[in-house]
């Protein structure tokens, strides 16, 4: 195949990896001696100066490139943007923490170049592979997610959750328009999007120890993983952001009714006072959950967390007041206290679904545009109205 530029592109998403980028580049130079390659670091505006470090390296090593993202976060979307930024016919995704062994890159490239595979996966769960120094808890979580991934794919893969893999350009191009960009499992997203049989190969590698920085593993990634599965199965009918909002709303309703029952029936607090107290507490719980889960890509920290809470409660207090007043009216008309509280909280939820997405986390028309589409994903409808969305953030989720 005739190709004047790099024939292999290595996509490396980064966040706070300033101490690792130089080591990784050195390892790639040592390993990839007979291949025309480039490495594209896609950095989510790391506060430790990762993007600056990459640009400095690129001054002396032209094969090093940087895609510096501002206002966007997420491993999967970073990988997608990195692959879109390259014209190389073969693509590899790997982490920057030096846990992925570059030594298998040559064999990975050979299998793709010789047309023996469409996708080659670095596997921890075949003979010769391993998870290194992982704790038992993290290993069990990974294995559980792997079993789910194998089940939904119905493919003979031992490690469909790997973040270390290579593929032919045409596979990515075929999947690109349908990718969700959710979760951190971009390989699973790609394999679930391509609707034809792919030739898959796995190469064993042992996960190394992180050399610097902090692990990005968090419990909340389990939620993101479930959102990815939801998007790939029912996302064409129910946008996952709306599904997440509905889940958050259900938590708010349950917590409100539980605290209302405790305050009114157990503690004997008056109906209206109990409603106001439980509404305040449940608003705080709902905000905290939404900030961490539903709007993690726009998560607020520090003083902004409290400012967001105050704004959230101000906006949602309109619905809360409607809830308490209407529920109190029904109660005074002889309606059972639980039924009156339930009707009130349903009215409140209808308001909150609008308030949270349109005002507190600043999605506004972007959310409405996404939920109106028959499909969802980072690249579906990938030409947003630049007047209403100059930063392209409409596609961030």
Count of Cβ atoms closer than 10 Å to residue 77 Cβ:
25
Count of Cβ atoms closer than 10 Å to residue 105 Cβ:
25
Backbone angles phi, psi at 96, to 5 degrees: -95, 0
Q: Which long-range contacts (CB under 8 A, 24 or more apart) does 145-149 make?
A: 145/185, 145/222, 145/225, 148/225, 148/229, 149/185, 149/188
Q: Which two tokens stand for residue 168?
A: 């032919």
Rounded to an integer, what distance in angstroms lies between the CA atom of residue 172 and that of residue 373?
A: 23
pLDDT of the residue at 298: 65
pLDDT of the residue at 172: 95
Q: Which two tokens stand for residue 327?
A: 């529920």
pLDDT of the residue at 81: 94
Among candidates 110, 111, 82, 113, which has minimal Cα distance to 96? 82
pLDDT of the residue at 117: 95
pTM of the model: 0.65
pLDDT of the residue at 120: 96
β-strand pairing of 119-123 with 200-204 = parallel
Backbone angles phi, psi at 386, to 5 degrees: -65, -20
pLDDT of the residue at 385: 36
pLDDT of the residue at 272: 79
Q: What is the pLDDT along the chain (397 residues), one digit of tens a residue?
A: 556 789 999 999 999 999 999 999 999 999 999 899 999 999 999 999 999 999 999 999 999 999 999 878 788 889 999 999 999 999 999 999 888 989 999 999 999 999 999 999 999 888 888 887 777 777 777 777 777 777 777 677 888 888 899 999 999 999 988 887 766 678 888 988 887 889 999 999 888 765 554 544 454 566 666 666 666 665 555 666 666 666 766 777 787 788 888 888 888 888 778 878 887 887 788 788 777 765 665 677 788 888 888 887 777 777 777 777 888 888 888 888 778 887 877 777 766 666 555 544 454 444 444 444 333 333 433 333 333 333 332 222 2
């Amino acid at each position: 195949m005739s190709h004047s530029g790099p024939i292999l592109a290595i996509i490396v998403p980064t966040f706070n990896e300033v101490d690792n980028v130089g080591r990784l580049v050195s390892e790639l130079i040592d390993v990839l001696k007979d291949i025309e390659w480039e490495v594209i670091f896609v950095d989510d505006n790391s506060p430790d100066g990762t993007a600056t470090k990459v640009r400095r390296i690129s001054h002396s090593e032209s094969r090093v490139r940087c895609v510096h993202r501002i206002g966007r976060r997420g491993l999967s979307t970073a990988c997608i943007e990195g692959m879109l930024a390259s014209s190389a016919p073969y693509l590899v995704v790997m982490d920057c923490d030096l846990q992925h062994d570059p030594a298998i890159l040559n064999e990975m490239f050979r299998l793709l170049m010789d047309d023996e595979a469409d996708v080659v996966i670095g596997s921890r769960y075949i003979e010769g592979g391993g998870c290194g120094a992982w704790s038992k808890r993290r290993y069990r979580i990974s294995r559980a997610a792997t079993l789910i991934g194998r089940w939904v794919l119905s493919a003979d893969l031992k490690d469909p959750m790997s973040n270390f893999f290579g593929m032919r350009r045409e596979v990515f191009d075929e999947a690109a328009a349908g990718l969700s960009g959710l979760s951190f499992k971009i390989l699973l997203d790609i394999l679930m999007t391509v609707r034809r049989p792919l030739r898959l190969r796995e190469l064993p590698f042992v996960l190394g120890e992180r050399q610097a920085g902090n692990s990005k593993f968090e419990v909340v990634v389990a939620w993101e993983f479930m959102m990815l599965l939801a998007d790939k199965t029912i996302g064409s009918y129910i946008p996952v952001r709306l599904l997440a909002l509905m889940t958050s709303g259900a938590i708010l309703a349950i917590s409100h009714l539980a605290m209302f029952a405790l305050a009114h029936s157990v503690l004997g607090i008056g109906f209206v006072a109990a409603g106001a107290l439980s509404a305040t507490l449940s608003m705080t719980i709902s905000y905290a959950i939404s900030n961490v889960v539903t709007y993690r890509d726009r998560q607020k920290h520090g003083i902004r967390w409290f400012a967001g809470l105050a704004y959230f409660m101000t906006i949602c207090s309109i619905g809360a007041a409607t809830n308490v007043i209407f529920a109190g009216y029904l109660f005074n008309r002889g309606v059972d206290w639980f039924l009156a509280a339930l009707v009130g909280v349903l009215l409140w939820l209808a308001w909150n679904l609008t308030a949270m997405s349109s005002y507190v986390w600043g999605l506004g028309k972007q959310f409405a545009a996404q939920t109106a589409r028959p499909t969802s994903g980072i690249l579906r409808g990938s030409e947003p109205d630049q007047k209403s969305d100059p930063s392209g953030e409409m596609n961030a989720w």
